[in-house]
């Protein structure tokens, strides 16, 4: 899980980042002095906890918290501020914590630990992916409707790669078996990726996809997938496999054969 800290005072920001890193509870901690920088980061990364100063120029912490919750509903918000009068407003937007400056290491640890321990276990997975048979994606039981069939296939291909990084050229080669990745098709891939990102955003599940530097991957830890459970030896998943895996996509035949041979 990743964490971010946002504060326009560099000394406080550096201290907060350093404390979070010392706790050893997060795989990565990033600090930002502006809400815009934090917003751009959270669009690309899966952030579990955001520590926000409230009184900041250009974009205050309350506004930033609203943007974060819109883009990443499962991100927990903790406010760090020198003004106690913001408490009622902070919790009105469903903040998960509220600490007054100056920051005490033990108090911050207790707050972070409490937030992590009380995260809704049902939110561990943002989506359910059904890969045995045809491929379908569900959010809270609702089937996700994709505007473009190739965007759905792209997501299926990324899920098949189980979190591995895939370049656009590699994805194109899978989605168009005999196609030529010329300039026109590069633009087509841009459209497909953009459409996929838009669909995920519409359903509030943008976090399952990471796109950067021309490559992309899904976050398998956020996806409740029958194939993943099968590979983990889950008895129910093993019983549910009937020898058919994403049968709409020719590239899935390699994984299907491996599942049948149980070579994983």
pLDDT recorded at residue 44: 83
Contact 6, 52 (CB under 8 A): yes
**pLDDT for position 122:** 44
Spatial strand order of the sheet with 127-130 comes to 142-143, 136-139, 127-130, 223-225
Q: Which CATH architecture has domain 127-261?
A: Orthogonal Bundle (1.10)
- pLDDT at residue 83, as a whole number: 61
Alpha-carbon dihedral sign for residues 246, 155, 264, 46 = negative
Q: What per-residue confidence (pLDDT) applies to 84?
A: 59
87 to each of 16, 24, 80, 128, 231, how far by Cα in Å? 20, 28, 10, 36, 46
pLDDT for residue 60: 87
Query: What is the pLDDT at residue 175?
Result: 94
What pLDDT score was predicted for residue 92? Answer: 54
Instruction: Check residue 170 and give its pLDDT.
Output: 95
Residue ranges of the chain whose pLDDT lies below 50 = 87-88, 121-123, 263-264
Cα–Cα distances in angstroms (integers) from residue 238 to residues 64, 132, 135, 243, 260, in the given order:
44, 11, 17, 10, 11
Residue 86's pLDDT is what?
A: 53
- Own/partner pairs, 9-18, CB within 8 angstroms, 24+ separation: 9/53, 12/53, 12/80, 12/101, 12/103, 15/103, 16/51, 16/80, 16/103, 16/108
Q: Do domains 2-122 and 127-261 have the same CATH topology?
A: no
> 51 in helix, strand or coil?
strand
- Tally the residues of the chain: 264
The confidence score (pLDDT) of residue 182 equals: 93
> Out of 3.40.50.1000, 3.30.70.870, 3.40.50.2300, 1.10.20.10, which CATH number does the structure's domain 2-122 have?
3.40.50.2300
- Segments making up each domain of the chain, as ranges: 2-122, 127-261
Residue-level pLDDT at 94: 56
- What end-to-end distance do the CA atoms of the chain give, in Å? 26
Residue 16: alpha-carbon gap to chain centroid: 23
């Amino acid at each position: 899980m990743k964490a971010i800290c946002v504060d326009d005072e560099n000394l406080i920001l550096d201290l907060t980042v350093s404390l979070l890193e010392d706790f050893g509870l997060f795989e990565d901690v990033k600090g930002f002095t502006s809400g815009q920088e934090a917003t751009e980061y959270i669009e690309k990364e899966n952030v579990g906890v955001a520590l926000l100063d409230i009184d900041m120029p250009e974009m205050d912490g309350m506004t930033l918290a609203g943007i974060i919750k819109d883009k990443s509903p499962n991100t927990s918000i903790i406010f760090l501020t020198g003004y106690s009068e913001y408490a009622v407003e902070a919790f009105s937007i469903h903040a998960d914590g509220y600490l007054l400056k100056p920051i005490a290491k033990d108090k911050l640890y207790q707050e972070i630990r409490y937030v992590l321990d009380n995260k809704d276990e049902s939110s561990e997975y943002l989506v359910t992916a059904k890969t045995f048979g045809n491929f379908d994606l569900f959010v809270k039981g609702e089937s996700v409707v994709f505007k473009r069939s190739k965007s759905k296939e792209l997501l299926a291909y990324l899920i098949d790669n189980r979190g591995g990084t895939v370049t656009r050229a590699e994805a194109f080669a899978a989605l168009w078996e005999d196609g030529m990745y010329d300039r026109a098709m590069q633009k087509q891939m841009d459209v497909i990726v953009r459409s996929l990102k838009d669909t995920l955003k519409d359903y509030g599940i943008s976090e399952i996809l990471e796109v950067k530097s021309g490559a992309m991957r899904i976050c398998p830890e956020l996806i409740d997938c029958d194939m993943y459970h099968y590979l983990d030896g889950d008895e129910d998943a093993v019983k549910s496999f009937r020898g058919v895996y994403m049968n709409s996509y020719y590239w899935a035949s390699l994984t299907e054969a491996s599942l049948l041979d149980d070579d994983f």
